[in-house]
Amino acid sequence: MAYKDIYFIGIGGIGMSAIARYYNFQGYRVSGYDRTPSDLTHALEKEGISIHYEDNTGYIPEDVSSTLVIYTPAIPSDMGELVYVREHGYKVVKRSAALGEISAGQHCLAVAGTHGKTTTSTLLAHILTASGSGCSAFLGGISKNYGTNLLMSRNPVIVAEADEFDRSFLQLHPEIAVITAMDADHLDIYSDLDHVREAFRQFASQVTGTLITRLGLDITSSETKAKVLRYSYNDARADFYAGNIRKDDCGHFTFDLNWPDGVIHDCRCGVPGWVNVENSIAAAAIALCHGISPEKIRESLASFSGVKRRFDIHINTPHCSYIDDYAHHPKELESAISSIRDIFPGRKLTAVFQPHLYTRTRDFADDFAAALSKADRLILLDIYPAREEPIPGVTSSIIFDKVTAADKVLLTKDELLPYLQHEDVDILATFGAGDIDRLCAPITEMLEKRTETGDCR
């Protein structure tokens, strides 16, 4: 029997909400549960999707045979609704399996990597959309060009953010794929870096056409049947790299994109920061391999507006700037802080960081401290637990105590706004994958009251 109802457990997650939108667009009855209301759940409700915020099996569609249940692995295995659907014979699949089924039979272009994948996949989706080629896209963030994490097209091409969490990306068999990074992360799942790399090598083996990896990653042609190419920010040993790089006063870069068939002159990424040049090269590499013309790629890169919470500049004046970023891994913090230093040389950076997960805090405390020590001033918040229970002895203090910056303070999230009211701010950056994003609007409003005119965004 064909499914009529699609029920989501954890519908408010960025990846889950995109799939919910897809099924809603296709005409299914879509509903679901999430723990707390958010901007994403409010948007889904406006689109006609019914959502509730209590663990209550009474909301689950009654017809077992005509209902598909999709859940996120971030949901605890003993959650009441999840236990109920498993015990009562519903078809129950993870989000990754649903995405794998949707992408099967279409031209799948995938972006994998422990960081950089959301901006790169959103860039790729924008290139295909703005060029007129078209694609459906399941994104890990909200595209600022389109105001959504789902794009729909009649063209049978899917852009997928290939998430390594819970080995989800192994459900995909892409035609063309990029791997941006293979750093240690999700060690609650993988236990160590070797197992992380092993999963990425398995993903590489599933690519059917062309695999493009960041120069230096340990993936070779012996591990995949796909053609292997390399990309780099500015290393001429790669197949795709930037040359003749120029930066303007507001941190936007213009560069020449070198690729095997020539040079695309005077590319300019629509969002600032050297890291976005690197992301642009990765996205352009997939697009070129897919057959998008160099001229369309140049035009599309220039019109890219970015992704919410990915180096998201809310205020940019000569005397006060505010940037919000999803960075929640030490390497991501290093890249974001480096980009901020590059764009705003000589200015004082205040970094606010909300650690995400007890296990990640425990596993990378030293690396977090090293990255955050590169700020002039650190405001460190309590750990956002997400799916995890507390671990004895693991608090934000194990990072805080190792930070070498002399100006540092440990606060709760509720203490942040009152604290900032009385602090001078030159550049403020908020980092984290938890609920720190709920403070972006009030922080922006507070700082705007202080700023002078002269916005150079």
How confident is the model over 351-402, as pLDDT tens digits? 999 999 999 999 999 999 999 999 999 999 999 998 789 999 999 999 999 9
Collect all residues with Cβ–Cβ distance below 8 Å to 226 and sequence separation of at least 6. Answer: 177, 204, 207, 208, 209, 210, 211
- On the question of pLDDT at 456 being above 90, the answer is no
Average pLDDT in the 295-320 region? 94
Q: Of 400, 315, 389, 392, which is closest to residue 354 (Cα–Cα)?
A: 400
Q: Of 146, 88, 107, 81, which is closest to residue 290 (Cα–Cα)?
A: 107
Percentage above 90 pLDDT, the chain:
84
Q: Which residues belong to CATH 3.40.1190.10 in the chain?
A: 104-302
Query: Would you place residue 453 in the very low, low, confident or very high pLDDT band (cuts 50, 70, 90)?
Result: very low
Q: What is the CATH number of domain 312-448?
A: 3.90.190.20
**Do the Cβ atoms of 162 and 111 come closer than 8 Å?**
yes
CATH topology of domain 104-302: UDP-N-acetylmuramoyl-L-alanine:D-glutamate ligase (3.40.1190)
Instruction: Write down the pLDDT at residue 454.
Output: 42
Q: Which residues belong to CATH 3.90.190.20 in the chain?
A: 312-448
Element (H, E) at 323: strand 321-325
Residue with tokens 């290939």: 162
- On the question of pLDDT at 455 being above 50, the answer is no
pLDDT digits (tens, 9 = 90+) for 29-61: 999 999 999 989 999 999 999 999 999 999 999
**Do the Cβ atoms of 311 and 144 come closer than 8 Å?**
no
CATH topology of domain 5-94: Rossmann fold (3.40.50)
Residue with tokens 């120029």: 246
Query: In the structure encoding, which two tokens stand for residue 250, read together?
Result: 């507001």
**Do the Cβ atoms of 92 and 69 come closer than 8 Å?**
yes
Instruction: Write down the pLDDT at residue 190.
Output: 84
Q: Please, what's the b/e burial string for 178-187 (b: 16 or more CB within 10 A of its CB; e: otherwise)? A: bbbbbbbbbb
Q: Which residues belong to CATH 3.40.50.720 in the chain?
A: 5-94
Q: What's the order of all strands across the beta sheet hosting 427-431? A: 312-316, 321-325, 427-431, 349-353, 377-380, 407-410
Tally the C-alpha atoms within 13 A of residue 135's C-alpha that lie toward its C-beta: 28
